[in-house]
Structure formats: structure tokens, C-alpha cells
Amino acid sequence: MAKSKFDIVPGVSARKAAQAEAKPGPMSTAIRETAQTLDKAEEDLRQQRKRNAEEARQWRSAMEEGLILLRLPLDLVRAEDLARDRSNLAEELKSPEMEELKQSIRVLGQKEPIAVQQTEEGYSLTSGWRRLNALRMLFEETGEDRFSLVMAKVQVSAHGRMDRYVDMVTENVVRKNLSLAEMAGLAMAVAADPEAGTPDLRAAINRLYHAQSPAQRSYINAFARLLQLLGDSLIDARSLARDLGVQVARALSDDNLAGLRKALDEAEDPSAQQKILRDFVERVERRPDPRGSARSGAAKTEFRMGQAKLTARRGEIRIKAPVDYAEVPREVLEEAWRAFEAVLRGENQG
């Protein structure tokens, strides 16, 4: 039967399917692309925030560990917050060593950073006093901009005050030959610093100079006692030899302190004072033992080995040396005693 004019024309269904599969219109495309762009932007923003947070964490960690180097204007660094281990800072500024440092910085620039702590008020110097002042003097002398900034390792204020003292000592003991008097003087200043939290002098010495040997810490303890008792009377404690200072500290007592101070106050220079101190030690060592009248006739052997004086009697041996044996660990003393007994047994058997 022939199709009427109202019958569906062949191919119309196929054309409709093709139209259904055709591309969306411009408006739909724009909406879809905008949505995709927004999704990508949000993801990029999330990734950027994640990177920023990680970088901020790394920065804080590096700051706390003192790994950040900044160039700071000289006037932002305060050098007076901590007591210094040099006893005469004005003299240090005029020393040949300071002139050598200035010349090195003038020619080569600052090679080693100072260490500072960041506080609410700015930056507080931990170590690098000589480098900071060398730059200050060079800037004052020349006015050159290259001397107006100091390279510094920056730590945040979470770093404790006592830790900062330890950092200063660690650097200066290595870089500069500090005297025992200067080491002892710093320990006294730290013990007197309420913010350091170490009021006991012996504890302050142990903490500051933990890297030194027990013998070296015993010398510092002896010089601390010397400065406590004679500090105002000594013209230049830095010039005292180690052995003389330790011997004087050991010989001082309530009975002889006033007389020695009077003699030192009348001396004109460090050389004269050192002679007074040597004579004082000799007099004390020659003084008879007040306990010895009943024991004076007892047989004894007495001799010196290096800085040690040994006295042996029946059932007794005494060692006098410029060492604070209370600072030596017990296990070390026990090992030394076992070795001593082993040698004695070997001699008896031979």
C-alpha cells in the first residue's frame, strides 16, 4: 500500500538521533568549562596552601635550630643582654686581635655569622661579640653600606637563656684562649643571673664547661673561689698561672684571708701581687699541722709527682693535687683504686 503524505518519511528517525548526539550549545559549553576551571583552581589553591603550610613548618623548625641566616642592621642587635666571658671588653676593642679581625672583614667580608635570638624587642646577641663590634667600628670609620649589616644565625626565643650561655662558651673556648679567671668570672655571672635558672656556682660551672675534663672544671672551681675571696684585691686575675691560682685558693682560710687582702691592696702591679701570692703559698705549706704533735714521730713517706704531693703513713695515704676529686665520677675513682692495689700486690709478690 502506498504511503500517504502524512506517513513518516524514511530517514527522519536517524536524523533525530544524530541531532541528539550533536555537540551542546555555546552556553552549555561555557558553563561546563567554567565549572572545570573552578574545580582546578580550587585544587591548585588547596595544593598551594599545603605547600605554604609545609614551608612555614620548615621555616619554624630551621629558625628554632638556628639554621636561618639573615642580614640585620647593626642597630637591631643588642649585645648587652648576656654577661660576656671577656673580663675587660673595652681593652678587647683596642687589642691587636680586634685590628686583625677588622682588617680581615675589610678585605674579605664577614665570613662567619654571629648568633642571635629573636625576641619581641628585636635581636639579642648570643655569640659573635667581636665580629659585631668589628663591623660597628668599620661602619663608623668608613660609612660604607657593606659594613652596616651583620650576617646572623637567628634562633627563636624558645632557646633557653642558659643554653645561650653554653653556646657562647662553646664557641669562645674554641676560638679564643680564655683564662681560667675569665671562665670562672662568667660562671659567677651566670649563677647570679636569675633568668639562667642555675643559682649554684658549681652547677653553673658543670653546665657551662660540660665539654671540659673534670680536672679543668676543678681548676675553674678553684679560680671561682679565688675571685669570690680576693677578686676586688686582684689587679689582673687573668695573668695568674693555673698552678699558683689553684694553690692560693686551696691555702685560703678565715685566719689568713684578711692579711693577704691587705698585702694585695698595697701592691702596685700584677707582678708584685704574684710574688705576694707565691710567698703566701710557701708560708702556708711550711706551717706545721696543728693535728701533728701526737703524730709527728710516726714514720711516713712523702714525695711529689708532678703537681701532686703524696704522703704515706701506716694505714693512710694522702694525695694533695690541684684537682677537685669530688667532680671525678665514682666509677673512675674505683677503677683508679683497683689499679693502685694491683700495682701494690705486684710489688709485694715480686
Does residue 9 sit within a domain? Answer: no
pLDDT for the residue 147? 95
Q: What are phi and psi of 26, to 5 degrees?
A: -55, -40
Q: Is there a single domain that holds both residue 143 and residue 98?
A: yes
Q: Which of 124, 119, 120, 173 lies closest to 152 in space, CA to CA?
A: 124
- Can you give the CATH number for the domain in which 149 is found? 3.90.1530.10
Residue after which a domain boundary falls, among 255, 287, 319? 287
Q: Model pTM?
A: 0.62
Is 313 a domain residue?
no
Query: HSE (CB half, 13 Å, CA atoms) of 176?
Result: 19
**pLDDT value at residue 11:** 57
Domain shared by 136 and 217, yes or no? no
Q: What pLDDT does 143 receive?
A: 92
Cβ(152)–Cβ(66) under 8 Å? no
Same domain as 153, residue 102: yes
Q: Which residues pair with 69 in a beta bridge?
A: 153
Specify whether 53 is located in the same domain as 143: yes
Q: Can you give the pLDDT at residue 61?
A: 76
69 with 106, same domain? yes
Radius of gyration of the chain (CA): 38
Q: Are residues 230 and 253 in the same domain?
A: yes
Domain final residue pick, 262, 287, 312:
287
Domain boundary among 244, 262, 287: 287
Identify whether 28 is part of a domain.
Answer: no
Same domain for 208 and 150, yes or no, is: no
Q: Is 290 helix (H, G, I), strand (E, B) or coil?
A: coil
* Residue 348, in any domain of the structure: no
Residue 7 neighbours by CB distance under 10 Å: 9
Per-residue pLDDT of the chain in tens (350 residues, 90 and over written 9): 555 555 555 555 555 555 555 566 677 777 777 777 777 777 777 778 888 888 888 877 776 776 788 999 999 999 888 888 776 778 888 888 899 999 999 999 999 999 898 887 789 998 889 999 999 999 999 999 999 999 998 887 656 788 888 888 877 766 667 889 999 999 999 999 998 888 899 999 999 998 888 888 999 999 999 999 998 999 999 899 999 999 999 999 989 999 999 999 999 999 999 999 999 999 988 776 555 544 444 567 888 887 888 888 777 888 888 888 888 888 888 888 878 877 776 644 44
Distance CA(153)–CA(67), nearest Å, equals 6
- Asked if residue 320 belongs to a domain, the reply is no
Same domain, 185 and 173: no
First-last CA distance in the chain: 143
- For 25, left (φ over 0), alpha (ψ -120 to 50), or beta? beta
Give bridge partners of residue 310 from the DSSP assignment: 303, 319
CA–CA gap between residue 169 and residue 163 (Å, rounded) = 10
Residue 221 lies in a domain: yes
What is the three-state SS of 21-48? CCCCCHHHHHHHHHHHHHHHHHHHHHHH
pLDDT at 187: 93
85 and 171 assigned to the same domain? yes
d(CA 245, CA 242): 5
Q: Where are the alpha helices (DSSP H) in 109-194?
A: 129-142, 161-175, 180-192
Pairing of strands 308-313, 300-305: antiparallel
**110 and 221 belong to one structural domain:** no
Does 121 lie in the same domain as 208? no
Domain containing 281 equals: 180-287
Do 234 and 250 lie in a common domain? Answer: yes
Which amino acid type is present at position 321?
A
C-alpha cell at 341: 692495689
Structural domain includes residue 81: yes
Q: What residues pair up with 320 in beta bridges, in sequence order?
A: 309
Residue 215 included in any domain: yes
**Domain count across the chain:** 2
